[in-house]
C-alpha cells in the first residue's frame, strides 16, 4: 500500500521548521516509517538548485526562470525520493511542495495559474499530497520572527505586499481544497499551535485507518 504524503506550508517565519520536529515525533509515536524532506531541495541536485534560488544576487531573476528551477528540483526530488518512498509504503513529510509554487510564483509573482498547473501535471502526473497543513500568521508577525533568526535570503528580501499576496494565495488554496488542507493558526503560542496540529494529524490518521479497513 502506498504511504501517505504530508506537506507543511506557510509564509515567512510561520514556524514550519519548528513544527516539523513535532510532527516527526508524532509519526515516531505511531511507529510509522517515514522520510522527512524539503523543497526546494531534498536530493543533492535539488539542494544545488535551492542554493541557486535562495542566493541574494544583483541580477534580477526572471519569474519564468524561477518557476522552471522550482519544478526542475521537484522533478528530481519526486523521482529520487518521494515516489520511491511512497511506493515502499513509508510516509513522506515534506517542508513545502507545489502549493508553495502556486502561492509564491502564482499569487506572489503574478504568474499564470494555468501554466503552473501544466508544469504540475508534467512533473507530478496525478500525485498530490494527502494532507497539507497551512500554518497561517499575519505577515508582519512572521517577518519579525524570521528576521530575528537569520540573514534574509533572496525571497526574504521581498516587500510586505509580496508576502501578503502569498498569504492570500495560501488561503485560497485552503478554500479550494478543503478535503486536503487544514489551516493552523500559527500566531498562537507554540503549545497551542502543536495542539491544533495534533488534532489535524489524528483526524487524518483516523480517516486513513478507516479507509484501509
Ligand atoms: N519557494 C517558492 O517560492 N516556491 C516553491 O515552490 C517552493 C519554495 C517549494 C525557501 O523556503 C523559499 O523557497 C521560501 C519560499 C520559496 N522563501 N521564503 N520566504 P524555506 O521553507 O526554506 O524558507 P522559509 O519560509 O524562510 O522557512 P524557514 O526559514 O525554515 O522558516 P519557518 O520554518 O517557517 O519558521 P521557523 O524557523 O520554524 O520559525 C521562525 C522563528 O519563529 C524561530 O525563531 C522560532 O523559534 C519562532 N517560532 C516558531 N513558532 C513560534 C510560535 N508559535 N510562537 C513564537 N515563536 C515561534
CATH number at residue 77: 3.40.50.300
The minimum-distance atom of ligand 1 relative to the CA of 98 is: 6
Number of domains making up the chain: 1
Q: Is 101 in the pocket of ligand 1 (CB under 6 A)?
A: yes
Which amino acid residue places its CA nearest to atom 50 of ligand 1?
15
Question: How far, in Å, from the CA of 36 to the mean position of ligand 1?
Answer: 16
CA of 115 to the centre of ligand 1 (A): 26
pLDDT at 190: 97
| Whole-number Å distance between alpha carbons of 64 and 24 | 34
Ramachandran angles phi, psi of 93, nearest 5°: -115, 115
User: Is 156 touching ligand 1 by the criterion CB < 6 Å?
Assistant: yes
Q: Probe ligand 1: pick from 143, 147, 155, max atoms within 8 Å of CB?
A: 155
pLDDT at 148: 79
CB of 195 sitting under 6 A from ligand 1? no
- What gap in Å lies between CA 108 and CA 106, rounded to an integer? 6
What atom in ligand 1 is closest to the CA of residue 11? 25
Residues in Cβ contact with 8 at an 8 Å cutoff, skipping those fewer than 6 apart: 16, 19, 20, 23, 93, 94, 95, 96, 132, 133, 135
The Cα–Cα gap between 16 and 192 comes to 14
Tell me the best of 16, 75, 161 to mutate to test the pocket of ligand 1, counting ligand atoms within 8 Å of each CB and taking the most: 16
Q: Is 13 in the pocket of ligand 1 (CB under 6 A)?
A: yes
What span, in angstroms and rounded, lies between the C-alpha atoms of 144 and 154? Answer: 16
pLDDT of 71-117, one tens digit each? 999 999 999 999 999 999 999 999 999 999 999 999 999 999 999 99
Gap from CA of 101 to ligand 1 centroid (Å): 15
pLDDT at 213: 77
Q: What's the CA-to-centroid distance between 10 and ligand 1, angstroms? A: 7
Residue 100, CA distances (Å) to 90, 92, 134 in order: 23, 17, 10
Indicate the average pLDDT of the chain: 96
The reported pTM is: 0.97
For 104-142, what is each residue's pLDDT tens digit?
999 999 999 999 999 999 999 999 999 999 999 999 999
C-alpha cell at position 124: 507530478
Range of the domain at 130: 5-212
Amino acid at each position: 500500500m502506498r504511504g501517505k504524503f504530508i506537506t507543511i506550508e506557510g509564509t515567512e517565519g510561520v514556524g514550519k521548521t519548528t513544527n516539523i520536529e513535532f510532527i516527526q515525533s508524532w509519526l515516531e509515536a505511531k511507529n510509522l516509517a517515514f522520510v522527512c524532506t524539503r523543497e526546494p531541495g531534498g536530493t543533492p541536485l535539488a539542494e544545488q538548485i535551492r542554493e541557486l534560488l535562495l542566493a541574494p544576487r544583483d541580477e534580477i531573476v526572471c519569474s519564468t526562470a524561477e518557476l522552471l528551477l522550482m519544478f526542475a528540483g521537484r522533478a528530481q526530488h519526486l523521482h529520487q525520493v518521494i515516489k520511491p518512498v511512497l511506493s515502499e509504503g513509508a510516509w513522506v513529510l515534506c517542508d513545502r511542495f507545489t502549493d508553495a509554487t502556486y502561492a509564491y510564483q502564482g499569487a506572489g509573482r503574478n504568474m499564470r495559474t494555468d501554466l503552473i498547473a501544466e508544469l504540475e501535471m508534467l512533473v507530478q502526473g496525478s500525485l498530490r499530497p494527502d494532507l497539507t497543513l497551512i500554518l497561517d500568521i499575519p505577515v508582519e508577525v512572521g517577518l519579525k520572527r524570521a528576521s530575528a533568526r537569520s540573514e534574509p535570503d533572496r525571497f526574504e528580501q521581498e516587500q510586505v505586499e509580496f508576502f501578503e499576496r502569498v498569504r492570500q494565495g495560501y488561503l485560497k488554496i485552503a478554500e479550494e481544497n478543503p478535503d486536503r488542507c487544514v489551516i493552523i493558526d500559527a500566531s498562537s503560542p507554540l503549545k497551542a499551535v502543536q495542539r491544533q496540529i495534533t488534532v489535524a494529524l489524528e483526524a487524518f490518521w483516523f480517516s486513513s485507518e478507516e479507509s484501509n479497513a
